[in-house]
Amino acid sequence: MLIENLVPWRARPNFRLDALSAVLSGLYVGGIFPFVLFVARDRLHGSGFDLGLMTAAPFVGNLLALPLSHYLGRGNPVRAVAMTLGAARMIMVAASFVHGSSAFAWVVFAVQCLAAIQSPTFAAVVRTIYPLNWIGRLLSYSRVMLAAGMILSTVIAGALMEHINYRWVFLGLAPVGMAAMVIYDRIRLPGQPVRHEGNVVDYVGQAVTLLAEDKAFRWFAFAVFVYGFGNLMSIPVCTMYQVDVLHISSAQIAILNITTQVVWLVSYVLWGRIIDQVSPLKIVLANTILGVVLPLNHVLATRVWMLLPMAVVNGVVAAGIELSYFNSVMYFSTPANSALYQGMHSLLLGLRGCIAPFVGAGMAQWLSSAGYDIRWAFGAGIVLVIAGSWLQWYGLRHPMRGEGAVMSGSGG
C-alpha cells in the first residue's frame, strides 16, 4: 500500500484518521470559505467593515489562542481540537438563516475566530503523534488530502451558487464538516500528553518570555508580523476591487480558487519533501518574497483573467507558508513547550490580523469616497511585504534553539 511506503509504521494508524478527517474537512471548507467574502459583498452588499471583520476573524482567534490553550491543554488535546472545530461548524449553520450583511459577517467572524483558537493545541497533537523529522512530510500529505477535498467542493459549490441560493449549499455541507471531527476525535496519543499546570497568567508570561530568551524566534516573529500586516491589509481590498471594479462572478471566484487549490495541492507535496531537509526559516523567506505578487497583481489587473498569476502564486505560498511557519515553530521548540511557542506565534498573528484588514479596508473606502483609485491602497501592503522579507533574511544569522537546532545544523 502507498501509505506503507510514505508513512513510518508507528504513525500509520493516526495518520489514516488524520488523512480521512482532512478529506472531509476539505469538502466542508472548500464549499464555504472561498465564497464568504464574495457572498457578503455581492449578494448581501456588505460594507468594508464587514469584509474587514471576516478577514480579521481567524486572527482574533489567534489572539485568544494563547490564554485559552492553557485550558484546552488540561485535558485530551485531540478531544479539545475536535470539540472546538465541531462547535465552530455548528455555529456556521446560522449563516444559512441570518439576513443582512452585518449578521452574516458576525456569524462568519464567530466561526473563524473559534476555529483558530485550537491552533496551539493542534500543534501539540502533531508534535506528539509524529516524529519531528517526519512532521513536514506527514503534514503535507494530510494537507494534500485537505486540498483534494477543497478542489472538488469548490468546483461543485461554485457551479451550484450560480443556480441556487448559497444558503442551501452551506447548509448541505454541515454534516460533512461534523463527520470530519468525529473521525479526528479517534486519534490516539502515544503515552500521556503534557498537561498545562498553574494559572493562565503565568502560562502567558512563559510564552512572552520566549521572545526575550530566544533571539532567533524573536526575529522570526517580528519578520512574520511585518510581512503578514502588509499581506492582510490587501485581502479586503482585493475583494472590494474584484467585486466593485472587475465585477467578478461566483463562477470566476471558483475558477481562481480552484487554480490556487490545485497549485496548493502540488506545492504541499514539493514543499513537504524539501522542508524536512532544509531549514524551515529559509522556506519562510522564499515564500514571503513571493507574497508581493498578491497586491502587485491587483495593481496591474484590469480583467478578472489577469488575476490568474496571483491565483497560481497564492497556491505556492499558501502551502509553503503554512508548512514553514508550523515547522519553524516545531524546530524552535521541544515537545514540552511546543504549545507555548505556537501560542506566542498565534498571539502575534492575532495582533496583526485584528488591525491590518481594517486599515486596508478603511484606506480603500477613503480612497473610493475621495474619488481615487482604490488600487493605491495596495502600495502600503507591497512596502510592508518587502520589508518583512528583508527582516526574515536578516534574522537567518541567529541560530535556532530546541531540538530542531540539532537536526538542522543550528538552523543551517
Tell me the Ramachandran region of residue 334: left when phi exceeds 0, alpha when psi lies from -120 to 50, beta otherwise: beta
- The x, y and z cell numbers of residue 200, run together, are 493562565
Q: φ and ψ at 100, to 5 degrees?
A: 100, 145
- The answer to which of 186-190, 223-227, 357-361, 393-397 has the lowest mean pLDDT is 393-397
At 401 the pLDDT is: 57
Classify domain 8-186+200-405 at the CATH topology level.
Growth Hormone; Chain: A; (1.20.1250)
* pLDDT tens per residue across span 108-159: 999 999 998 888 788 778 878 887 778 777 877 888 888 889 889 988 998 8
Averaged confidence pLDDT in the chain: 83
At 412 the pLDDT is: 34
DSSP symbols for 317-379: HHHHHHHHHHHHHHHH--TTTHHHHHHHHHHHHHHHHHHHHHHHHHHHHHHHHTT--GGGGHH
Domain boundaries, the chain: 8-186+200-405
Residue 207 in contact with residue 344, Cβ under 8 Å? yes
Considering only residues 221 and 133, tell me which one the structure prediction assigns the higher pLDDT: 221
Query: How much is the pTM?
Result: 0.71
* Mean pLDDT of the 306-315 span: 90
